[in-house]
Amino acid sequence: MKTLTLLAAAAAISFSGAASAAMMSSAPDQSWTVTNYYKQTVYDANQNKIGQVDDVLVDKAGKVTGLVISVGGFLGVGSKDVIVPFEDVNLQKKNDKYWLSINESKDSLKSAQGFSYDSDATTWRPEKS
């Protein structure tokens, strides 16, 4: 009976803790939405289209660590997904629109390690050569 009472008390505490989560009254300063990156076109330094962002990688602390970019192919056929470190991506505003660029060429990304998404593990795995 004591064990049941302790379990009930522990459950009540954990549920009440979840219900009292802090809510924000405004978005944090200097925060960006994933929409600024996800499914956006990526360009090289000369504003040539390289590919499109297929995924945004986030670590357990919530920090964005990389972007999965689809390069090559036509309409997704024959394309390959590569991962670029987030700090190598530049977000710029031009004509009231944001666009992404990196200091890599399309050819260098096409020759980089490819990745495929493992839906069972919900992670990106290197493709076998």
Residue, of 11 and 52, whose pLDDT is higher: 52
Q: What is the predicted pLDDT for the residue at 40?
A: 92
Q: pLDDT, tens digit, for every residue of 11-35?
A: 544 454 455 678 888 888 888 788 8
Q: What is the predicted pLDDT for the residue at 70?
A: 95
| pLDDT band, residue 90 (cuts 50/70/90) | very high
pLDDT greater than 90 at residue 91: no
Q: How far apart are CA 71 and CA 39, in angstroms?
A: 12
Measured CA distances, 13 to 4, 10, 19, 21 (Å): 14, 5, 10, 13
DSSP one-letter code for 96:
T
66 near 58, Cβ under 8 Å? no
pLDDT greater than 90 at residue 3: no
For the chain, list the domains and their CATH numbers: 38-126 (2.30.30.240)
Measured CA distances, 6 to 3, 12, 20, 67, 120 (Å): 5, 10, 21, 46, 36
What's the whole-model pTM score? 0.76
